[in-house]
Structure 1
Amino acid sequence: MLGRLLSTRTIGYLVLGWAAAWFGIMAIGGGSSWHFFLQGATALADADDPVNGGLHLYAAAPILQIGPLSFLAVLVLLPAGHVLALLGGQILGAAAGLLLLWLVRGLVPQGQRDDARLAMAAAYFLPVWMFLAVGVTHLDDVLALLLSVAALRTARAGRAWPTGLLLGLATDAKPWALGFAALLLLLPGRRPRFAAAAALAGAVAVAWVPFFLGDSGTSNALRYTIQNAPVSALHALGIHDARTPVWDRPAQLALALTLGALAAWRGRWAAIPLLTVASRLVLEPGGNKYYIAGVVVGTIIWDFAGARHTLPWWTMSASFGLFVARWIPMPAVLHGWLLVALFVAACALLLGRSPVGGRAGSTVDPAARLDGMVKGRAGP
């Protein structure tokens, strides 16, 4: 109904206005995590410091679980001064959210797009995204999610090298983004997949290997643990270790890659981002609210490119049930069980029927292929 009453341009202006409003709301007292980025970027630039600077960054400060690409992005902003650098990071993060919506829009062929449905989903997506990009200003997660969605676009287009490079850059921004590597299976054939995997490995090696060669203590960052929060799904599942279990991070990656591969094989490609994020959060000991931004990225892709319903039920549910609910008084363990419920629901998406042309390796628009089959049977 909304799409019939409003033009695409008008819908775009409404989304921009909504984004600007939430930018203003989140900018008040925003940037609560920006000091981590200033610390890391400043240390990275101080190559003359033989203990804390340059390639010694992660050995000296393993708490900085942020990729070097994110610190390089901050270094570009720092000449403007700390205050303006923060504002610049917030503006870039907000713009990345709008660019992400544009990338999601392009996942659906032009004749099948429903901009009103995307706008409805964006209404729930943008407050959560602005909390990540402006409220806490976690530029690493912003870049990782944006680059991963861009990789989904290129994978669907059958472009091997860009897909691998984008996934590698996403991992260089935030290591957990390596879980999106199942997107390589969407490429058409073994050779493009190997080429994309090589591009991914090369991008990761260029960014990370110098730190391991420059200081063997960089491996300390791989063993860094965080508190197992009472609101975490890990805690709800009965794993009450005080800090991150030694098996946890490898299990997150293995689970994400396995479920992503199953989604590709089942032709449920639009579910891969949601499954990847859900796999991380169901085993995540941390309880930060900004984690939910990754969830709504996955849900908006599914609502717009994978689901058939009119209302964006997945994005609405994630926004209220996982994000807004964090400000509602309730037993901490219930928040953990809500994350477990998200994971179970996301896994249920694997049970759906595969669309025509939707299996791994197919980059042909399903609707176009179906139309061709019908015309072929009907004759000239």
Structure 2
Amino acid sequence: MRLSARAAASLVTAWAAGWFAVMVIGGGSSWPFFVQGAHALADAHDRVAGGLHLYAAAPVLQIGPLAFLAVLPLLPAGPAAAMLGWQVLGAAAGLFVVYLVRGLRPERDRTRLAQAALYFVPVWMFLAVGVVHVDDVLALLLSVAALRAARSGRPWVTGLLLGLAADAKPWALAFAALLLLLPGWRAQLAAVVVLGLVLAVAWLPFFAGDPHTSAALRYTIENRPVSALRVIGVRDPRTPPWDRPAQLALALALGALAVWRGRWAAIPLLAVAARLVLEPGGNKYYIAGLVVGTLVWDFVGSRWSSPWWTIAASLGLFLARWVPMPDAWHGRLLVAFFAAACVLLLAPAPARASAPSELGHAPSPAV
């Protein structure tokens, strides 16, 4: 059954409202980190832990300054009211992600997108409302917007949006392969320059203001039993020194290969999958980035009539985290999902690869 634009939007919005009501009860487990960081950033008079000393004093805050700045305007209302405000904004951001994805291939049946959104929404609501990770919400929203800008051939906007995404959460640089979608090396170079300037404006003041900020680059987390990293044989108790660079390199390599193979719509999916297969942490909200990628692929790239990638990610990786099973099985599921995503690059090439300037008309394999 094909849905009209209004019916599809109403269905997804009502579904999101229902999940918001579920997640808002007892939600906000990560919110204190954002309150702490925002207050510290605003306290420029504190020469030990405030202002530009923020990351030197609290390297545990692996959150970009843009996320703290985004939280600041709501804090005068009080931490609880500010958190509710960001829960509402984060939920709305999820709906806007769906809207942005629709614009990547506007001629396609909206019913397909509505079906995928039914599985996307609960995972997104857990991120935005359940744990309230403002940085990931901003990074994912801005990265999808950057993908739209790249497909429209707008280098300055693409570089700006991707830079802001990394200013909210540095791992968003994993999406940088989308710059290859811009038409011609001059446009790509312009986007890289803008991206570099936006990163410099946000991050260089901290390194210049306190040389100990570099300690935040060396901060490590526990290599948890549920991680895919343990499954592939890395037994280090905490993040190996090579891990973060390897995540970025793998994401960029797979993204570039996706563009070369005519599967640009797989860039977000492959970028997040590359990060998670080498991720020592095992937080449930990480899967939100993956379902953003599957949402893009299921609507734009896949020829299947059902959103099987989003279903697999939301049920097999997210919902499965509440199913009693040995920890290692969660890592194995993630490794299997990563391997399946890589198959997108090995399938027979499409008949014709569309030019980057042709919005949303890239053919794709039946995967």
**TM-score by structure 2 length?**
0.97
Displacement of 1:331 in angstroms is 0.6
Identify the match of residue 145 of structure 1 among 128, 140, 143.
Answer: 140
**Matched letter for residue 230 of structure 2:** H
Corresponding residue of 2:52:
55
Distance 1:204 1:64 in 2: 18
Q: Where in structure 2 are the equivalents of 1:14-53 lying within 5 Å? A: 14-53=11-50
Structure 1 position 230 matched with structure 2 position 221: no
2:300·2:360 contact (CA, 8 Å) conserved in 1?
Answer: no
Shift of 1:352: 3.0
Which residue of 1 is the match for residue 277 of structure 2? 282
The corresponding residue for 1:325 is 320
**Change over 3 Å in CA distance of 1:196–1:357 after alignment to 2:** farther
CA distance in 2, matches of 1:367, 1:259: 21
Partners of 2:272 and 2:128 in 1: CA distance: 17
Q: Is the Cα–Cα contact under 8 Å of residues 182 and 188 in structure 2 kept in the other structure?
A: yes
Question: Are 2:123 and 1:128 aligned?
Answer: yes
Q: What amino acid is aligned across from residue 99 of structure 2 in structure 1?
A: W
Structure 1 residue 366 displacement after superposition: 7.3
Alignment of 1:1-380 (within 5 A): 1=1, 3=2, 6-108=3-105, 110=106, 112-355=107-350, 358=353, 362-365=356-359
The residue that corresponds to 1:372 in the other structure is none
SS at match of 2:272: helix
Partners of 1:52 and 1:357 in 2: CA distance: 55
- Alpha-carbon shift at residue 355 of structure 1 (Å): 4.1
- DSSP-derived class of the 2:138 partner: helix
Amino acid at match of 2:211: S
Q: 1:217 to 1:367 in 2, by over 3 A?
A: closer
> For 1:180, what is the secondary structure of its paired residue?
helix
Deviation at residue 358 of structure 1 after TM alignment: 3.1
Distance 1:348 1:80 in 2: 49
Question: 1:191 and 1:51, CA in 2 relative to 1: closer, same or farther beyond 3 A?
Answer: same
Alpha-carbon distance in 2 for matches of 1:358, 1:202: 32
Answer yes or no: is the 8 Å Cα contact 1:355–1:366 preserved in 2: no
Looking at structure 2, the residues matched to 121 and 351 of structure 1 have their Cα atoms a distance apart, in angstroms, of: 24
Change (3 A) 1:117 1:216: same
1:7, CA displacement in angstroms? 2.3
Q: Which residue of 2 aligns with 1:374?
A: none
Give the Cα separation in 1 of the matches to 2:359 and 2:164: 27
Contact conserved, 2:40 with 2:49, CA < 8 A, in 1? yes
Q: What CA distance in whole angstroms lies between the structure 2 residues aligned with 1:278 and 1:353?
A: 21
Distance 1:366 1:101, change over 3 A: closer
**Structure 1: distance between partners of 2:236 and 2:57:** 25
Q: Is the 8 A contact 2:152 2:357 kept in 1?
A: yes
Deviation at 1:356, TM superposition (A): 5.6
The answer to whether the 8 A contact 2:268-2:292 is kept is: yes
Which amino acid in structure 1 is aligned with residue 140 of structure 2? L
Per-residue deviation, 1:238: 1.4
CA distance in 2, matches of 1:266, 1:202: 30
Distance 1:165 1:318 in 2: 29
> What is residue 375 of structure 1 aligned with on the other side?
none
Unaligned runs of 5+ in 2: none
Letter in 2 for 1:59: A
| 1:227-268 Cα deviation digits (max 9, x unpaired) | 000000001111111100010000000000111111111110
Secondary structure at the counterpart of residue 239 of structure 1: coil
Report the CA distance between 1:362 and its aligned residue: 2.4
Question: 1:48–1:54: 8 Å Cα contact kept in structure 2?
Answer: yes
Root-mean-square deviation (CA, aligned residues, Å) is 1.3
Q: 1:350 to 1:368 in 2, by over 3 A?
A: closer
Residues in 1 aligned to 2:336 and 2:156: alpha-carbon distance in whole angstroms: 36
8 Å contact from structure 2 (residues 4, 110) kept in 1: no
TM-score, length basis structure 1: 0.93
**Alpha-carbon distance between aligned partners in 2 of 1:149 and 1:355, rounded to the nearest angstrom:** 23
Distance across 1 between alignment mates of 2:350 and 2:10: 33
CA, structure 1 residues 367+288, in 2 after alignment: closer, same or farther (shift >3 Å)? Answer: closer
Partner SS state of residue 66, structure 1 = coil
* 1:367, distance to aligned residue in structure 2 (A): 5.1
Q: Distance in 2 between matches of 1:238 and 1:214?
A: 40
Superimposed CA distance per residue, residues 355-377 of structure 1 (whole angstroms, 9 cap, x where no aligned partner): 46636x622257599xxxxxxxx
**Structure 2 residue matching 1:32: 3-state secondary structure:** coil
